[in-house]
Structure 1
Amino acid sequence: MTIRMNRRAALGLGTIATAGTVLGTAVPAGADPGREAAAEVGAATDDRARVASRIAGVYERLSGQAGGNWQSYVSLAGQGGAAPLVAVSESADQRIEAYSVNKIAVAAAVLDKVDRGLLTLDQQVEVTDAIVVPGGDGIFSLDGAYPSLVTLGHALANLLTVSDDTAVRLCGLVCPAAEINQILVAKGFPNTQVQPVANPNRFFLGTSTPRETHDLLRALVGGVLLSAASTEFVLRLLRSPVAFTDGVRREMSSAERARIATKAGWFADARHEAGVIFDTTGAPLVTYALFADGQSGADDFGATHPAVQARARFGRRVLGLTDGLGGSGTAHREHLYRPSNGG
């Protein structure tokens, strides 16, 4: 198999191996309690370093089997609030077309305006025949019931769950392209930008880098990107049963899927996905940004595409490798799923 990444960078050896070597030193019998406690922390850190290394190995094997080009950044939560351990870093600062993964960034910009009192989730936006994207993903192009009015909350729910393309244009009505980009720059994401067009309320979904997408997700779950209410709104959508299930979440039970907030993006030969895996208490555990293109099957937008298959196996393996590990930071408990039989 051809290795396409710097293995030292992929395993984060500059920090992980050092932590394992220094902090994992055995403590002789009779040592004072403070040193014993430090040794326990060191052992736990060393264990996480090994898990991060194994995550890197799984990624390397599966991405190699899928072929094509990969640009990715994956981290594992540190022990006791320590800095995350970098498991995968491959072309992490390469600016690429993010496609629908950037719908998270669009939603963040809109919700920033909600947080500042400039918009409300219950205000209405107009769905016209001219604004509907025909033949694309989502609900609006299927129902045929327009002109109509929907709430901004409804548009955002469609944007982040079924990746509705018309919902992008509805967001543009209340947050033009230039304003989205300004908000994202102000929040520290200069490479995560939509691409303006002649109509100021329209845009292509634009670019990001694996590292910036990863960091945006970390900021989201850390509560520094949006208000607490807006944060929970986004995570409730991205963790919902109707959110993307062909990739990282595919080979999982419904309870396991509820632990993962994820967003996929696809166009031409690109198949991307980014998200957060939470531990069983709801604390963030693994954050991933997996961007892939150039594989075979450019016309296959289903679960059989090589990159999507690789992500499904990656998700299953990472969930197994991190079993029993605790996350770090604010806990975001999943909302209870209650299937309905009507009535």
Structure 2
Amino acid sequence: MTIRVNRRSALGLGTVATAGTVLGAAPAASAAPEVAAPTTPRQAARRVAAAYARETTRAGGNWQAYVSVADPAGGPAVAVADEPDRRIEAYSVNKIAVATAVLDKVDRGLLALDQRVEVSAAIVVPGGDGIFSLDNAYPSSVTLGHALAALLTVSDDTAVRLCGLVCPAAELNQILRDKGFPNTQVQPVANPNRFYLGTSTPRETHELQRALVGGALLSPASTAFVLDLLRSPVAFTDGIRRSMSSAERARIATKAGWFGDARHEAGVIFDAAGAPLLTYALFADGQADPGNYGATHPAVEARARLGRRMLDQTAALTGAGATHRLAPRRPSNGG
């Protein structure tokens, strides 16, 4: 905490961004009341930067991040570049990368979403996050599409192992390297079909998401599949999406990762038409209350406040690139 605050103090909040700094941030006490949403990407980036500086200082601990606002007139306006190239444990945020590698094989005809994968008692992570550890009915099987849905929505731990059955660690890492992500890699173990979720950097996680929504990583069908899962009502709601309506949440594709004292989240905010508007990769650790994995953890609360801020400060802007319309999801009363 001390190092991070001293570094920012030395660089000076409120200055133009350079590598590893926050764009246009200003101390909260001197911020003027804001009566209207910014009308340019650069203005929005400055306000997002100020909110990031305020919330991360309030939460404490260590933060690394990369955040940008789309600009239809050119490249994205970088709002936050806080140690963006530091390689760190990404935890479940890397499940986006795992899904990307698996779906790359689907796109090449090597796998199919409707093929079945075996769920043995031995493969289920005991007490893990998600739904498979609650089933108590093994052996069984599910489709690969079902496994990916569990991976990206409720962040199921056993779903990682199911993906490893069809895309071993070495192959998965090579797919990601071939796509331009040498730092976004899973960590192999003795069993070639199992792995820890590995590492990434804020910049690479940010760029992977931009490439995904830009259609550069997967087929249109696979891209839509991933984004539909990440924007679904059952996707993570404790952080960025917490203080939002259901319609607002549907505009945000997000994936959180938590382990030990780390609380990460990465995603994309879309405009009302479905065009990418803001991309974020937020990595945090070292905050108080490390045993709390709920919504009241300091870093998760900071992300909730920042998410509301990011949505509001881009409300008057238009995204850039291909649009991704969300399939409607409505509650059902059964029957």
Q: TM-score, normalised by structure 1?
A: 0.89
Provide closer, same or farther for how the CA distance between residues 247 and 268 of structure 1 changes in structure 2, counting only shifts above 3 A.
Answer: same
Q: Distance in 2 between matches of 1:318 and 1:260?
A: 11
Structure 1 residue 77: deviation in Å?
Answer: 0.1
Q: Does 1:133 align with 2:125?
A: yes
Structure 1 residue 142: deviation in Å?
Answer: 0.3
Question: SS in structure 1 opposite 2:40?
Answer: helix
In structure 2, the partner of 1:29 is none
Q: Does 1:88 align with 2:80?
A: yes
Provide closer, same or farther for how the CA distance between residues 201 and 278 of structure 1 changes in structure 2, counting only shifts above 3 A.
Answer: same
Structure 1 residue 218: deviation in Å?
Answer: 0.1
Q: Distance in 1 between matches of 2:88 and 2:296?
A: 24
Q: Residues 277-288 of structure 1: matches in 2 within 5 Å?
A: 277-288=269-280
Q: Residues 222-237 of structure 1: matches in 2 within 5 Å?
A: 222-237=214-229
In structure 1, the partner of 2:182 is 190
- Deviation sequence 1:66-100 (CA, Å, 0-9, x none): 000000000000133x1001000001000000000
Q: Distance in 2 between matches of 1:327 and 1:212?
A: 21
Question: SS in structure 2 opposite 1:338?
Answer: coil
Structure 1 residue 9: deviation in Å?
Answer: 10
Q: Does 1:206 align with 2:206?
A: no
Q: Distance in 1 between matches of 2:199 and 2:15?
A: 23
Q: Distance in 1 between matches of 2:257 and 2:7?
A: 23
Provide closer, same or farther for how the CA distance between residues 134 and 51 of structure 1 changes in structure 2, counting only shifts above 3 A.
Answer: same
Count of residues paired in the alignment: 314
Q: Which deviates more from structure 2 when the two are superposed, residues 125-134 or residues 47-56?
A: 47-56
Q: Distance in 1 between matches of 2:39 and 2:236?
A: 33
- Contact preservation (8 Å) 1:3, 1:64: no
In structure 2, the partner of 1:54 is 47
- Contact preservation (8 Å) 2:41, 2:71: yes
In structure 1, the partner of 2:56 is 63
- Deviation sequence 1:139-186 (CA, Å, 0-9, x none): 000011110010000000000000000000000000000000000000
Indicate the percent of aligned positions where both proteins have the same amino acid. Answer: 72
- Contact preservation (8 Å) 1:51, 1:321: yes
Structure 1 residue 11: deviation in Å?
Answer: 5.1
Provide closer, same or farther for how the CA distance between residues 84 and 120 of structure 1 changes in structure 2, counting only shifts above 3 A.
Answer: same
- Contact preservation (8 Å) 1:217, 1:276: yes
- Contact preservation (8 Å) 1:9, 1:90: no
Q: Does 1:319 align with 2:319?
A: no
Q: What residue ranges of structure 1 are gaps of 5+ in the alignment?
A: 18-44
Q: Which deviates more from structure 2 when the two are superposed, residues 141-150 or residues 2-11?
A: 2-11
- Contact preservation (8 Å) 2:39, 2:317: no
Structure 1 residue 334: deviation in Å?
Answer: 1.2
Structure 1 residue 324: deviation in Å?
Answer: 1.6
- Contact preservation (8 Å) 1:271, 1:308: yes
Question: SS in structure 2 opposite 1:88?
Answer: strand
In structure 2, the partner of 1:295 is 287
Q: TM-score, normalised by structure 2?
A: 0.91
Structure 1 residue 51: deviation in Å?
Answer: 1.3
